[in-house]
Amino acid sequence: MAVLLAPSAEACTSAPCSPWWTRFPLPKDAVVPANVPALVMVSPGGWPIVDARTLRLRTEDDTGVEATLLPGPLGSGVLVPAAPLVPGTRYHLEGRDPCLGESEEGPPETATFTAGPAAALPTATGTLQAGQEEHGPFQVWGGGSCSVGVEGSQVTLGFTPAPELVPFLPWVHWTLEVDGKPWATAPHGAVDAAGTLGMLDRLRFPHALFSVYSVCETVPDQQPPSDLGLEEGTHVATLRPVLEQSGTPLPPLEVSFKLTCMEKDPVPVPNDSQDKGCSQTGGGLSLLGALAALGLWRRGWKQGVAVGAFMVGGGLALPPSAQACGGPICQAKKFHAPLPTDASVPANVPALVVLSSNGYEADSGNLRLRTEDGADVEATFLPGPHGSGLVVPAAPLVPGTRYHLEASNLCGRYPQEPGTLETSFTADPAVALPAASGTLRAGPEQNATFPVWGGSLCSVDVEGRTVTLGFTPAPELVPFLPWVHWTLEVDGKPWATAQHGAVDAAGNVMPPDRFAYPHDLLTVYTVCKVLPDQQAPSDQGLAPGKHVATLRPVLEQSGTPLPPLEVSFELKCPDEVPEVPEDKGCTQAGGGLTAFGLLATLRLWRRTKRP
């Protein structure tokens, strides 16, 4: 009998060098401040290193511009003009593609821009805030595996750049420290004017700049990652931006956040006598009995499914790609109102919302709104989109009054213990309902390795092309964002949705529950290549070519519709590079593994709690 190694046991190497990874962080027809301290050619993966000696800056009439050429951080090449650029002049910047070998010839990478008036070098960075803690599945990148599925706690940081910093963002690189230790880096131009981080090669930048996490549990049939993230508890994040070659330092930004691991709700142990499924021949041990022996039915929503798929047909092990992926159980703790602690709510808010847990509905019949002295507030209670529950006050709230929004019997229709929710807030003066949505733009197309979620598999790692959309909410919309839900259409067809409160004041999107929301609201992609030993996903993303994205926000129960926003983008798969055959290494075969030995083997795939 052959023993199959889990994919996590395979060595992971980064994708081959691609010219799409090397670029000048400038949009088409860019306008550059005449006093820009330095121009940069970025190698987003940090390798291969850009040869700064090949950088050239010329005017449109082909006159060379005197400059100093330097190696820069994260494999970049830096060009420092000897004098300020001339406003109104058109310039051409070029550099050798580092993907070419020493003896190879090829066209240079180029960028064209116009010098604008000089602008004061920035002395302010902006603002940094910590979003709500989220619990659920996500991928940990790096180490011996490309990525490993885990469950844990995540916090997304929201960054809003200072207006004076925005013109210089293409030449700013970034470090995020947590408790004084480096956590993540990002190359020049990785953060746009909305504070959104572009797509990076996750094998070279395994930590996203604005996401911090703690691994609470590993997923069955996955080798525990070497990177378990941060410890549970309260931490301080420090964002350090550096404007390349500027003599004016940018101040760092700090924010505190907390990560906690949630206890899993127990799942009832099935009665062995009701097992009508397959059994392991020759061993006298039924499938369900084996699971009970391992104690896997008590370990949450994935454990039994994974091992159940693993033991079939006389004890033969199926590869993990053959496993079915099931969703999580109802958890009362995950129902919540999209409001921060001690929130202030406009008195004329059209509706209040209680969000569902993992797709399990919040029963509107169990909602209640009271004042601090216990008086009920007259309201209509309705089921809402995404399984939410809505509270529509019969009259505007009273400014200065403290209110309590309550929900009871959460998960009451399921085997779990029912739970309750209470959120308190204060009513503020009424403000005009928003009539504007904001702005939407498309970031540069990026080559990336990423997981595709959904289908019969939890996720499949692929290589493809991605575009991140940047959204900046209109100021008049910001006070009402907790009660806005979202749809992104591509070419008139739904691509992604997001619950109420998923988008913050900086336009950042909170990490979604991947089983309910497999597509990120502001990321579009096409799958170009499935990674080795991965089953092709049923979701191939968008077809390569030009597309139009339409973002549709809806303020719950508002009679004033919000206008949709549109932006065009393009996705193109690069030409395939012939693969060099690799030595797949040794396999273990034979041995006649007994049922008892099989159980011992299966223990290697048991979910392991973080120490």
What is the tens place of the pLDDT at every residue in 84-129?
999 999 999 998 877 666 556 778 888 999 999 999 999 999 999 9
The sign of the CA dihedral 218, 224, 227, 230 is: positive
Report the DSSP pairing between strands 343-346 and 419-428: parallel
The CATH T-level fold of domain 332-428 is: Immunoglobulin-like (2.60.40)
Torsions phi, psi for 56 (to 5 deg): -140, 140
pLDDT at 237 over 70: yes
User: How far apart, in whole angstroms, are the C-alpha atoms of residue 234 and residue 258?
Assistant: 4
Same fold, 19-116 and 332-428: yes
Structural domain boundaries in the chain? 19-116, 272-329+587-605, 332-428, 438-571
Q: What angle do CA 475, 479, 482 make, to 5 degrees?
A: 125
Burial 102-133 (b: 16+ CB within 10 A, else e): eeeeeeebebebebbeeeebbeebbebbbbbb
Torsions phi, psi for 52 (to 5 deg): -60, -25
CATH for 19-116 is: 2.60.40.1220
What is the percentage of the chain residues whose pLDDT exceeds 70?
72
For the record, the structure tokens of 293 come out as 């022996």
What is the tens place of the pLDDT at every residue in 435-480?
999 999 999 998 888 888 865 557 788 889 999 999 999 999 999 9
What is the tens place of the pLDDT at every residue in 52-88?
888 999 999 999 999 988 888 888 889 999 999 999 9
Residue 200's pLDDT is 75
For the record, the structure tokens of 20 come out as 């799409």
| Better-scored residue on pLDDT, 411 or 564 | 564
Residue 199's pLDDT is 73
pLDDT at 302 over 60: no
